[in-house]
């Protein structure tokens, strides 16, 4: 066991913690980096997917009847708007200075 740990220690100490680049590799020129064929295929896939989703949405929206009866949410919104307008009117009345008789 002592020999194995000694050999592991020697191997770990002789290894460089940061690998150096190989001298035969040319440096990467940032102006030459392009998305390549994978980027083109990804972009075309997204264009096709968005087009299909848009067509499907238009088809579904055409099915919606614009003359639907009012639902509970519509009645609540109308009541809320009425109460808000009443509160604004009362607020305007309270802002006016009292008239002296």
Question: Where is pLDDT greater, at 82 or 70?
Answer: 82
Buried b (16+ CB within 10 A) or exposed e, 72-96: eeeeeeeeeeeeeeeeeeeeeeeee
Helix (H, G, I), strand (E, B) or coil at 87: helix
Q: What is the pLDDT of residues 3-20, one digit of tens each?
A: 777 777 766 666 555 666
Compute the average pLDDT of residues 26-43: 86
Helix (H, G, I), strand (E, B) or coil at 72: helix
């Amino acid at each position: 066991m002592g020999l194995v740990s000694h050999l592991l220690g020697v191997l770990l100490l002789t290894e460089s913690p940061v690998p150096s680049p190989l001298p035969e590799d040319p440096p990467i020129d940032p102006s030459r980096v392009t998305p390549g064929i994978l980027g083109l295929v990804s972009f075309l896939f997204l264009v096709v997917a968005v087009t299909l989703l848009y067509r499907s949405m238009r088809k579904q929206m055409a099915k919606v009847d614009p003359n639907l009866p009012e639902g509970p949410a519509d009645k609540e919104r109308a009541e809320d708007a009425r109460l808000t307008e009443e509160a604004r009117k009362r607020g305007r009345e309270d802002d006016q200075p009292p008239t002296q008789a």
